[in-house]
A and B are shown apart, each in its own frame.
Chain A
Amino acid sequence: MNAPTIAGQGIMAGRYIGQRSLRKEDPRLLTGRGQFVDDISLPGMLHVAFHRSQIARGNILSIDCAAARDLPGVHAVWLAADIERPGFEMLSLYLRPTEVPTPLLADSIVRYVGEPIALVIADSRAIAEDAAALIEVEYEELDPVVTLAQARSGPPIHPGTDDNIATEAGDEEVDEALAATLAGAAHTITHHVVHQRISQSPMECRGIVAQANGIEELRLYITCQSPHMIARWVSQALGYPNSAIHVIAKDVGGSFGLKNQPWREETATILAALKFGRPLKWIEDRYEHLTACPQCREQEFTLTIAYDKDGKFLASQGDYSANNGAFPQGADNNLAAHMFIWAAYKMPTYGFITRGWYTNTTGLAAYRGPWAIESLVRETAMDVAARKIGIEPYELRRRNVLKVAEQPATTCLGMPVDDITTETCLDKLLENFDVPAFRREQAEARKAGRFLGLGIAAYVEPTASAGSINFMTGELAQVRIEPTGKVTAAMSTHSQGHGTATTMAQVIADRLGVPYEDVTVFEGDNMHGGFGPGAAGSRQGVAGGGAAITASEMLAAKVKGLAAHLFNASPEAVSIEQGMVHIAGAPEMSRSLREIADIAYSEPMRLPPGYETGLEVQFRYMPPPMTMTSAAHACIVEVDVETGFVKILRWITSEDCGTVINPAIVEGQVTGGLAQAIGMVLLEEAAYDARGNPIAATYKDYLLPAISDVPVFEFLHANTPSKTVGGMRGVGEGGAIIGPPTLVNAIADALSPFGEVPVNLPLTPSKLLSVIEGRDIAGHGGRGAAAAPVAVAPAAAPAASAGEAQIDGEWKMTMSTPMGAQEMTGHFATDGTALSGHLMSAEGRQDFTGTVEGNKLKFELKVEKPMNITLKYDLQVDGNAIFGKVKMGMFGSSKLTGQRI
């Protein structure tokens, strides 16, 4: 007990770490005493509802609010200009201005069905809704851009842009050497995956209560992923001091990536509350959630893999597109998907092009494992590749997996990796599942007309990002032994169901040597503890856990120092167990922590010289930049070939999330993610019709997995400690990443006698029957309908200018990067074919020289942050516009646009 934890050693047999401790959160939640945002009522509080656009794209001709304003009980009906606030700026998830300005209320144009246009303030929600329904808006309707295909060929949905590309990286042209390898390989496959649009659908919708207190002081109750993150975002968006924003989110009913930041409705409510001067509440209802809330996924990925006659990988090329909707919470091309697609396998070379597209649909937000498409496309492609050469799919994985003994290694994109244990998980899975026995059972079943299938998938994910995304760094623990001897901790972590008040209390009790019952963890209020980005990227167990361990051990050392001084013993002779302080060999000197704490707080004369009174410690833990969590899963299904229905018969998970703080909580995270995976593969689809109307507006249309859709899961835990303090690896997202390919592979295996199953999610019975019967049963239902052609004019290509281009001068330029838009000013001077100049950006001034040819200019710059890379600028000037690409080493290319100043 109390021996310091050494990074990378893990904690396997703690008194509390590793136990299925009952959750601290449960008593209040089981008795209806939780505090969710809609449970808050403040004196004088009024209610907000929105009037929303009924068309996907068009110009607003007029808005008539007279009837709404006349309704008894209505206090205000406000339009965009009414809530405008000088200095306010809508920010992305990355705390930067959104790539295209995101209005809070639509002004002259609307860009998706459900876009808020007017905000009503009334005595009750019912009256506010009645009033919102009385508002009349006249539009000039335009043809909407709904699908990815339409985004590519349609007119730009945002005025002042050339096309619908929100962000882009990589290269359109396949690298020559890579192309040669693809062409010369014994085998190549090209595999296409279509992932439907998903609604995150936490059971609690979004909501906020905003109360302006005095001048420049706000109290917000909001459903979120971290009250600290909300306070930081709001303070930056409004230009208020962070400490003036008090954010409370005691209980949150799930989030899954959706509630990272306040979005249009929450922010509009905040601005309206500041102006109106009374507390305002807006609670999203489920209809709004399913039709007007940010959504996720809706992606296409084409992956080519070349391999030799033995199944050894040679080269790969990827092409990715994502529907970003009209206003994403940060334009996204999913660079992480390319960074990690081959991280767990030995793939010699990989090239890609990746783009996010704007459309007239609700904006893109995060969802559990936002880059999960890489595992889906890779693992399903690998099964196709294995079937092509007649080997077991797991065998193809074994031949290519990056072995533990081969690390540290460098991926095909030049990323250093270490500590990836995918091989371990796969081996463990195969030791516990008899594939040949299943194949015999499958053959027998097929004779009887039953189609069983086995799906196996493996993956690695980066967790606990620290320093690679701007708002994700360390986590803070403030641990205190109170004068009563009880322990309280203020953590920067936050739970939307994660149970961090439980796991952090287990860690603290374990490392400090006190009973679990004596530890209370406070989170959910930004006035307690310090900044943390919250539940995102499977980080809290790793970063929060490491902080809690170190802070507790520092506090234990403080107690020991005091006890040693009081009893004239050496600190090494002091131990703390179950809240008692013992001196080795002197049982009569044992004291309760309460007695020691009382001295620490009340009797400064008895403390060692220089000893700080009280017993409190704080520590911020910064884990390594990335920690790696791996898993391999197997699933068995039966597909009914008469109905196309899929029944999941068995599902075995083999995870390595390092040190497990609480197995029940870890398994809950895995199975929650797997249920969402089942939803994605079989049921859920946030579909739109050809006019951009969301057509899954209730849970009778948007099908969430019920208990009858989700099997009993079996668990294998590998428990290889990571290199972090405590050895945790993070487990929040994994199930939603590995689940989809596992299930798709099982279905494809079951139906392999009928041919390959196109991976076009969800795999509804009608789509599977189309494979079984060899004809199109699916027809034009669901998402397919949205593909119906809509006449859209092709985007006007920027006219290539001939003759003398005027390059010299100053240019304001914007580069879209994985971290958001980067603004800069360029100064160019030409002399014949020589170019010189400098760039000014937030990072300072950088000088360069380069070359000019006609209207084209090229130059290179080296940067050191976030790592050493050379940026290669390849730009073109057209009159007063400048555009082109910037190659960023292994990060691919970014788009740059700008104008002459």
Chain B
Amino acid sequence: MSEPQSSFRVEMTINGRAKHATIEARKSLGDFLRDDAGYTGVHLGCEHGVCGACTVIVDGKAVRSCLMLAVQADGCEVTTVEGVAQADGTFHPVQAALREEHALQCGFCTPGIVCTLTALTKGDQKPTEEQMLAAMSGHICRCTGYQGIRRAITRLAAGEAA
């Protein structure tokens, strides 16, 4: 461990912008997005793949950025919570539903939840309430007791917030 770590060049698109960097092989995507790319909306709640707070969207799929190495995202298109709303600031329907339904308190778990639901409802996918709830079982929220998240999911399934 005391030897200098080998470094690699990576290139990826983050929230629509190109990012080039030379990084240590051992660096997680989550650490890279926060520390090197400046997207501090990516939250690390456990760094062992259980809490879901670190979830980002990699090539359209929700991914736990604490379990993926940054070098593995070479050439990928990454979206973090900062890149989910429209350019003019208009909320994505997922963000709007979470806000309307008081689905957050401290907001630490929220970025991961936003990314999972955004990936799941992308394009013309029409996930059912059950599918979204099942996806949510991989996210821990210590504050809310999940009531608002459930209601937001009901809303999204009904297509109301769109």
Contact = CB atoms under 8 A, between A and B. Distances in A.
A672 B144 contact: yes
B110 interface: yes
Contacts of A72: 4
Interface string B27-62: 100000010000111111111101101000000000
A179 interface: no
Interface string A676-715: 1000000000000000000000111000101110101100
Contacts of B145: 668, 670-675, 710, 713, 735
B114 interface: yes
Interface stretch (A98-106, A475-483, A492-500, A564-572): A492-500
Contacts of A23: 99, 102, 104
Contacts of A497: 104-107, 143
B1 to A, nearest CB: 5
Interface stretch (B6-14, B70-78, B81-89): B81-89
Contact of B45 (A32, A286, A664, A675): A286
B102 A668 contact: yes
B140 interface: yes
B139 interface: yes
Interface in A493-509: 495-499
B81 A32 contact: yes
Contacts of B125: none
Given A203-B109, A671-B145, A672-B143, A30 B98 contact: yes
Nearest to A673: B145
Contact of B48 (A254, A700, A710): A700
A31 B2 contact: no
B8 to A, nearest CB: 16
Contact of B47 (A39, A286, A665): A286
B65 interface: no
A774 B91 CA distance: 56
A497 B99 CA distance: 14
Nearest to B102: A664
A674 B140 CA distance: 15
B107 A25 contact: yes
B47 to A, nearest CB: 6
Interface string A730-764: 00000100000000000000000000000000000
A26 interface: yes
Contact of B105 (A22, A70, A130, A498): A498
B63 interface: no
A597 interface: no
B122 interface: no
A134 interface: yes
Mostly, the B contact residues are loop
Interface residues of B, number: 56
A398 interface: no
Q: Which of A72, A668, A704 has the most CB of B within 10 A?
A: A668
B26 interface: yes
Contacts of B144: 668, 671-672, 675
Contacts of B27: 126
Nearest to B147: A671
A577 interface: no
B156 interface: no
A126 B47 CA distance: 13
A624 interface: no
Contact of B84 (A31, A667, A700, A706): A31
Interface in A24-38: 25-27, 29-34, 36, 38
A20 interface: yes
A675 B114 CA distance: 21
A785 interface: no
A203 B142 contact: yes
Contacts of A133: 1
Contacts of B2: 67, 70-71, 130, 134
A665 B145 CA distance: 12
Contact of B41 (A32, A201, A253, A713): A32
Nearest to B108: A253
A30 B139 CA distance: 16
Nearest to B45: A203
B127 interface: no
A149 B82 CA distance: 52
Contacts of B108: 36, 202-204, 253-254
Nearest to B146: A707
A201 B144 CA distance: 14
Interface in A121-144: 126, 130, 133-134
Given A22-B99, A31-B82, 8 more contacts: A203-B142, A203-B143, A204-B43, A254-B143, A286-B46, A667-B102, A668-B144, A676-B142
27 contacts: A26-B107, A30-B91, A30-B98, A30-B99, A30-B104, A30-B107, A31-B84, A34-B41, A202-B108, A203-B53, A203-B142, A204-B45, A251-B107, A253-B43, A254-B105, A286-B45, A664-B102, A668-B143, A671-B145, A698-B48, A699-B48, A699-B140, A704-B140, A706-B138, A707-B149, A708-B133, A735-B145
Interface of A: 20, 22-23, 25-27, 29-34, 36, 38-39, 67, 70-72, 126, 130, 133-134, 201-204, 251-254, 256, 285-287, 495-499, 664-665, 667-668, 670-676, 698-700, 704, 706-708, 710, 712-713, 735
